[in-house]
């Protein structure tokens, strides 16, 4: 993706600007959008990545979250 970004940017100002400045600017705008999109794609988590299920280390908090997630039944008050 970064290679495409560089090709777009260099190509826009080395070649395309000689024929069409608006096209060169449009190519640079596309090149500008590629790095954030690449970062989002690279950092996304898959459906099997259940990072939110990791215990926090606080037993009371973990017990509370397990109860909210339906992993444990709430204690019955008598």
pLDDT tens-place string over residues 31-58 = 999 999 999 988 887 766 666 667 777 8
Q: Quick one: pLDDT at residue 33?
A: 95
Maximum C-alpha span of the chain: 83
Q: Per-residue confidence at 76, pLDDT binned at 50, 70, 90?
A: low
Q: Quick one: pLDDT at residue 30?
A: 95
Check if the beta carbon of residue 56 is closer than 8 Å to that of residue 62: yes
**What is the distance, to the nearest Å, from the Cα of residue 18 to the centroid of all Cα atoms in its chain?**
36
Is the pTM above the cut of 0.85? no
Q: Quick one: pLDDT at residue 74?
A: 63
Q: Quick one: pLDDT at residue 2?
A: 85
């Amino acid at each position: 993706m970064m290679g495409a970004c560089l090709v777009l940017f260099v190509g826009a100002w080395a070649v395309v600007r000689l024929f069409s400045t608006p096209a060169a600017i449009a190519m640079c705008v596309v090149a500008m959008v590629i790095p954030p999109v690449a970062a989002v794609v690279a950092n996304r988590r898959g459906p099997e990545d259940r990072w939110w299920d990791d215990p926090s280390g606080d037993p009371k908090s973990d017990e509370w979250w397990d109860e909210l997630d339906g992993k444990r039944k709430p204690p019955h008050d008598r």
